[in-house]
């Protein structure tokens, strides 16, 4: 319900959608995806819940996951919305493998920054410190499993 409400209220009317995935690289699973229509709002959609006792990794019931995936297909496949990511080649290959195409138009903050300042680092943490007033945030997540993605 929360994903559908956020989609209808904020994502659908927005011309630009920022997105980012986090992965369990070793298990080859997308842990979660964040969607943001603007600088004030973001929704993190989980996919994996290792705490489940039924040997299932899915956070959602089968019907819920189908609905969430369809929303992601609609959002990231929408040719009228600009999709914005950091190191999008990494995210796109994971999403496509999961049946969620990311269609143009899209921009990539890593590539845009690199075209302006090729001599500087391109990591998301570095760009965040350079272009925003936010402190480093990666350490705030509780990722206990090894093999998670590293933004280049």
pLDDT in tens, 7-25: 999 999 999 999 999 998 7
pLDDT digits (tens, 9 = 90+) for 80-110: 999 999 999 999 999 999 999 999 999 999 9
How far is 116 from 9, CA to CA, in rounded Å?
35
The reported pLDDT for the residue numbered 146 is 47
What are the pLDDT digits (tens) for 97-151? 999 999 999 999 999 999 999 999 998 888 888 888 877 666 666 655 544 455 5
Mean pLDDT score across all residues of the chain: 88
Band of the pLDDT at 152, cuts 50, 70, 90? very low
Residue by residue, DSSP assigns 94-128 as HHHHTT---PSSEEEHHHHHHHH-TTS---HHHHH
Query: Please, are residues 65 and 58 in contact by the beta-carbon 8 Å criterion?
Result: yes
Q: Are 111 and 152 in contact (CB under 8 A)?
A: no
* pTM confidence score: 0.83
Give me the percent of the chain exceeding a pLDDT of 90: 68
- Beta bridge partners, 23, equal 30
* Mean pLDDT score, 66-78: 97
Inter-residue long-range contacts of 4-7, CB under 8 Å, 24+ positions, other chains counted: 4/67, 4/71, 6/35, 6/41, 6/43, 7/71, 7/74, 7/75
Residue labelled with tokens 């996919």: 47
pLDDT of residue 123: 87
């Amino acid at each position: 319900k929360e994903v559908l409400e956020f989609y209808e209220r904020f994502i659908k009317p927005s011309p630009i959608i920022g997105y980012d995935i986090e992965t369990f690289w070793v298990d080859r699973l997308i842990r979660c995806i964040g969607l943001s229509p603007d600088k004030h709002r973001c929704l993190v959609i989980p996919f994996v819940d290792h705490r489940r006792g039924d040997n299932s990794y899915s956070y959602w019931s089968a019907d819920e996951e189908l609905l969430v995936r369809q929303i992601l297909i609609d959002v990231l496949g929408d040719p009228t919305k600009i999709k914005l990511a950091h190191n999008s080649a990494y995210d796109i290959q994971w999403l496509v493998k999961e049946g969620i195409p990311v269609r143009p138009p899209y921009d990539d903050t890593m590539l845009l920054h690199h075209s302006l300042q090729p001599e500087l680092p391109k990591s998301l943490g570095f760009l965040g410190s350079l272009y925003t007033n936010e402190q480093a945030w990666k350490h705030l997540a509780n990722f206990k499993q090894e093999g998670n993605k590293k933004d280049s």
